[in-house]
């Protein structure tokens, strides 16, 4: 009798990846996807129609499947209200859709942006594990998680107007946290919808099977330990972009940018002296008033330093005056500056001409600056950025925080401090941090090992699902 044919190999684990539809989140989730693909995982990436249109023109051969979600809010997201609107819209439209996907397909696990806690409801009763990926820093996640403790202890809402008062009920940050460093929506009182939403959603993190964080232990280990008291299974696998490069065999990593990059700025940088340029960018969401734009602009021109500035088409609030910029600014910019609508940021930051980064401290920008060894000048706009910038100055000693001030004299003073007076000090600490970041993503490093553990755990989840 002919021997029985061997059983077919098990199909590879199928992971649904679902980012929150904003540049910083989509970017980080795509990097996670690219890190998981070589392990043979089969990935379906859920995406809005608008982001899909932007990405498919840039991503060559993604190696995974997109699943497009129609009918979501696709406008700007520069206020808490708009963020809340999108979250409501996502919860309503997408919970049933996600549930159908989970039920109709052999899904091994869902990796959802942790800000979308409705993924838990979608998977309820199906046995499919839900892993939350929080794209913010561990320190921001922990501050969000601690909002309820701040309310219980009476530190929230603030009494009086002194934003420099110490906050003592975010464990592990007692020594340096001030009211002004808490997530921006903490300033608006307890009825603020974003405050309630972010606090409630973050408190659901322990209901997920695991949490992925885009950070590394040498950067945020003590804060990760605080989170672990509530969510024991955490995978710190960042900085993702460095991790991806460290594992990639090919030199070209595809761009995850949702905007068209103006690469002419690299040519301009090539013509500048080493460590002479201030790179200025406020990410994809932050907006400035016309007054703030002019204060920054005067500050940059008056600092006499060379600068490369990303002025997005929608950087200045749409209802603000769009009249011409003063002649002296145009002339100062022609002499020492270069403006683009969107830059290839990772390439800019590692360019030898760049000395410092004036940033809003979105988490991706912060990590990219850390990996490039570039000191920061922080001007946080909202949400997590307030606490990131506090860590930049007070904990990691990687630059100076100018939050809540925006006038030309301060810009001149701080640019001068970071690029001249204390340049060696900040460059020294930035270089130390690069070493730790790179160690974490090399074979044997903490993030490297954690990613291997995540992949093994996803494979185990897949086998357990099949056995059921
Ligand atoms: C948002 C939030 O604002 C941020 O605080 C949160 O941590 C993630 O989501 P965003 O404001 O866009 O993101 O900031 P950030 O996280 O820094 O992400 C911006 C990304 O766009 C970075 O990866 C950066 O490299 C990229 N970028 C920015 C460019 O490629 N070119 C540019 O000109 C500007």
Residue nearest to atom 25 of ligand 1 (CA): 345
Domain ranges of the chain: 14-143+192-252+441-463, 264-438
Residue nearest to atom 5 of ligand 1 (CA): 362
Residue nearest to atom 28 of ligand 1 (CA): 283
Nearest Cα to Cα of residue 220 among 237, 205, 207, 203: 237
CATH level 3 topology of 264-438: Rossmann fold (3.40.50)
Beta bridge partners, 166, equal 178
State residue 49's pLDDT score: 86
Helix (H, G, I), strand (E, B) or coil at 174: coil
- Check for a shared fold between 14-143+192-252+441-463 and 264-438: yes
Per residue in 20-69, pLDDT (tens digit) is 988 788 889 999 999 999 999 999 999 888 888 887 776 666 788 999 98
Per residue in 286-334, pLDDT (tens digit) is 999 999 999 999 999 999 999 999 999 999 976 666 678 899 999 999 9
H or E element: which one contains 109?
strand 109-113
Per residue in 196-245, pLDDT (tens digit) is 999 999 999 999 999 999 999 999 999 999 999 999 999 999 999 999 99
Contact 273, 68 (CB under 8 A): no
Nearest Cα to Cα of residue 375 among 343, 420, 335: 420
> Looking only at Cα atoms, what is the longest distance across the chain?
92
Per residue in 162-172, pLDDT (tens digit) is 999 999 999 99
Per residue in 77-107, pLDDT (tens digit) is 667 777 788 888 888 888 999 999 999 888 9
Cite the DSSP H helix spans in 276-416. 290-303, 327-336, 345-349, 363-372, 385-390, 408-416
Residue nearest to atom 29 of ligand 1 (CA): 345
Query: Residue 311: CB within 6 Å of ligand 1?
Result: no
Name the average pLDDT for the chain. 92
State residue 322's pLDDT score: 64
Annotated catalytic sites, by residue? Answer: 25, 113
**CATH number for the domain formed by residue range(s) 14-143+192-252+441-463:** 3.40.50.2000
Query: Residue 385: CB within 6 Å of ligand 1?
Result: yes
For ligand 1, mutation pick of 194, 312, 365, 403 (most atoms within 8 Å of CB): 365
Q: State how far the Cα of 45 lies from the Cα of 159, in Å rounded to an integer.
A: 45
For ligand 1, mutation pick of 76, 113, 364, 382 (most atoms within 8 Å of CB): 364
Given the structure tokens 């199906």, which residue do they identify? 126
Task: Give the distance (Å) from ligand 1 centre to CA of residue 24.
Answer: 5
State residue 320's pLDDT score: 62
Q: Is the pLDDT of residue 467 over 80?
A: no
State residue 52's pLDDT score: 86
């Amino acid at each position: 009798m002919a021997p029985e044919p061997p059983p077919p190999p098990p199909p590879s684990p199928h992971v649904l990846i679902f980012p929150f539809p904003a540049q910083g989140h989509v970017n980080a989730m795509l990097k996670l996807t690219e890190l998981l693909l070589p392990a043979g995982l089969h990935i379906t990436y859920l995406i809005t129609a608008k982001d899909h249109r932007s990405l498919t023109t840039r991503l060559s051969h993604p190696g995974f499947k997109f699943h497009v979600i129609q009918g979501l809010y696709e406008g700007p997201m520069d206020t808490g209200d708009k963020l809340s609107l999108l979250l409501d819209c996502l919860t309503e439209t997408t919970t049933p859709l996600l549930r159908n996907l989970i039920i109709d397909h052999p899904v091994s696990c869902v990796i959802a942006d942790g800000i979308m806690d409705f993924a838990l409801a979608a998977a309820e009763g199906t046995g499919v594990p839900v892993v939350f990926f929080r794209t913010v820093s561990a320190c921001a996640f922990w501050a969000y998680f601690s909002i309820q403790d701040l309310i219980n202890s009476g530190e929230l809402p603030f009494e009086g107007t002194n934003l420099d008062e110490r906050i003592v009920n975010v464990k592990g940050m007692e020594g340096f946290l001030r009211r002004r460093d808490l997530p921006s929506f903490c300033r608006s009182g307890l009825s603020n919808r974003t405050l309630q939403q972010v606090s409630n959603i973050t408190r659901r993190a322990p209901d997920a099977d695991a949490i992925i964080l885009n950070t590394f232990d040498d950067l945020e280990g003590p804060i990760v330990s605080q989170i672990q008291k509530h969510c024991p299974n955490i995978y710190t696998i960042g900085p993702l972009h460095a991790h991806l490069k460290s594992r990639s065999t090919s030199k070209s990593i595809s761009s995850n940018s949702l905007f068209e990059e103006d690469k002419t700025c690299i040519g301009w940088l090539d013509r500048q002296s080493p460590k002479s340029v201030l790179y200025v960018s406020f990410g994809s969401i932050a907006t400035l008033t016309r007054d703030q734009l002019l204060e920054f602009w005067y500050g940059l021109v008056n600092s006499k330093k060379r600068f490369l500035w990303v002025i997005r088409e929608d950087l200045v609030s749409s209802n603000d005056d769009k009249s011409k910029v003063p002649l002296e600014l145009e002339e100062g910019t022609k002499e020492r500056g270069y403006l683009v609508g969107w830059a290839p940021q990772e390439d800019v930051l590692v360019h030898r001409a760049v000395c410092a980064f004036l940033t809003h401290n979105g988490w991706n920008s912060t990590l990219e600056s850390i990996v490039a060894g570039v000191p920061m000048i922080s001007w946080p706009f909202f949400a997590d950025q307030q606490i990131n910038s506090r860590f930049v100055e007070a904990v990691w000693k990687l630059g100076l925080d100018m939050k809540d001030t925006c006038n030309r004299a301060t810009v001149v003073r701080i640019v001068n401090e970071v690029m001249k007076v204390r340049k060696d000090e900040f460059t020294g600490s930035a270089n130390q941090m690069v070493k730790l970041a790179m160690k974490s993503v090399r074979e044997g490093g903490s993030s490297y090992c954690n990613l291997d553990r995540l992949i093994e755990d996803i494979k185990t989840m897949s086998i357990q699902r099949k056995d059921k």
